[in-house]
A and B are shown apart, each in its own frame.
Chain A
Amino acid sequence: MSENKTDYILRVEDIHKTYGDAEVLKGVSFNVRKGDTIVFIGPSGTGKSTLLRCINQLTVPDSGRVWLHDEEVTNSGKKINRFRQKIGMVFQNFYLFDHLTAIKNVEIALIKVKGMSPEAAREKALYELRQVGMEDFADHYPAELSGGQAQRVSIARALAMEPDVILFDEPTSALDPELTREVLEVMRKLALEGMTMLVVTHEMGFARSVATEIVFMESGVIQEIGTPAEVFGDGGGFERIRSFMGKIGDLSGD
């Protein structure tokens, strides 16, 4: 990470966030290039999700700045709604709009936020549902979908806005292993197609095979950053990541 600043699509500078007495983020900085898939791992409660939410300002950080291209996302006032169109987000619990069918979930922001015509929005929504293999479920309501299907629809909803980067906040943590796989496959495909992604996950297989960089967070700071080859390879260092992954492996019986 030594290139010129303008090489980066997203820059995060020294983010701090405190809830009451708990300092959740203690100065986190990193940069993202176009097409990167950055995977954040680490113990629960170390601020990974908060960090993602600070990027699109769903959580307003106490200090620090976020830049998308060369525009500041933090302190952007009403303009934040424009940035959020460019920064997609996928949530652990999907958060599909419960009163809308799958296709309407994808359409609604196209119509209400982007101002597309209903016909154009429908066409775009169908295209995105096809991308995640959910076109056959276009007219199903969220309650009629499995968790994996719901999460794929929510990915389509994010994709439809044509964002520069998508934030995935533990996208498979609410899913059983089989459904996890179908969601990870969609994400893997997106990464291969060049989508820029920040992913908070405990899926080490995904981190290993898809990440351009693995970021290990603990106690509100980035402890280690490395490529999968560095982290999983024979070289020295990365003791903390390895010990963390060892613990996860023990639990899941790998």
Chain B
Amino acid sequence: MDLFSVVAEWFPYLVEGILVTVGLVASALIIGACLGLPMAIGQVYGSRPLKYVIGLYVWFFRGLPVLVLLFMFYFTIFPLLNLDLDAFFVGATVLGLRGAAYQSQIFRGAIQSISEGQMTAARSLGMSRAAAIRTIIIPQAVRIALPGWSNEYPNILTDSAICYAIGVAELLTRTSQIVTQTYITMPIYILCALMFIMLNFAGMRVIAYLEKRVAIPGFSGGGQAGIV
């Protein structure tokens, strides 16, 4: 069998792997954002115990290698909880929980860079603190956070390949399956690499578009416009 027909034969299998990888990354980013933003708010505006608990969470998930986390959840924590979960679900959850730790710090930095005056002005108009956070602080923080947040996508995309270790049928897992079956190594791994690079490129374009969409004149992050 020549290389071309091997690639043609296995290509659909790899493309399915792309879909699994995209699913992993999207789930992880969404879980990370849905937990990370509230955690950031809690860390800036919360009570002391809450700040402590969030700090502990961040310390834990940033402190362990992603593979250790993955094994821990897949082989220990979820089985102990009597949860028989699909490897994809465990992978997405672990990447998401870990991403939340990183994302919370991206959002926290953004919130803290907003001038105190924004909250002061909102409160002076009779807004509650919660309403001010919701309507004034978060819309600004998310915009400020976007450039830093855009790091999360390639990070999670490349990290997602580690789900190979628990057998999620993502891009790398399928690539090595093909290699084992066909004994063709280099060209298949190069194909896999190209697919990762393509995913990276496409995702970054989406984020760049988003950044442009929500951009506001003179407000490109770093607190008040024009003030360094």
Contacts and interface: CB of A to CB of B under 8 A. Distances in A.
B126 A84 contact: yes
Contact of A141 (B122, B139, B140, B217): B217
A81 B217 contact: no
Given A98-B140, A98-B224, A99-B139, A141 B123 contact: no
Contacts of B225: 98, 142-143
A143 B125 contact: no
Interface residues of B, number: 25
A109 B140 contact: no
Interface stretch (A89-97, A128-136, A229-237): A89-97
Nearest to A145: B218
Contact of B123 (A84, A88, A144): A84
Contacts of A120: none
B56 interface: no
Given A98-B225, A112-B131, A161 B136 contact: no
Given A113-B131, A143-B225, A99 B217 contact: no
Contacts of A96: 121
Interface string B120-137: 111111111001000110
B120 A142 contact: no
Interface in A135-169: 141-144, 154, 157-158, 161
A89 B124 contact: yes
Contact of B218 (A88, A143, A161): A143
Contacts of A83: 126
B219 A157 contact: no
Contact of B216 (A88, A98, A157, A161): A98
Contact of B126 (A95, A97, A113, A144): A113
A46 interface: no
Nearest to A114: B126
Contact of A98 (B118, B123, B125, B126): B118
User: Closest 9 interchain pairs by CB?
Assistant: A143-B218, A143-B225, A95-B121, A85-B126, A95-B117, A109-B125, A84-B126, A89-B124, A81-B126
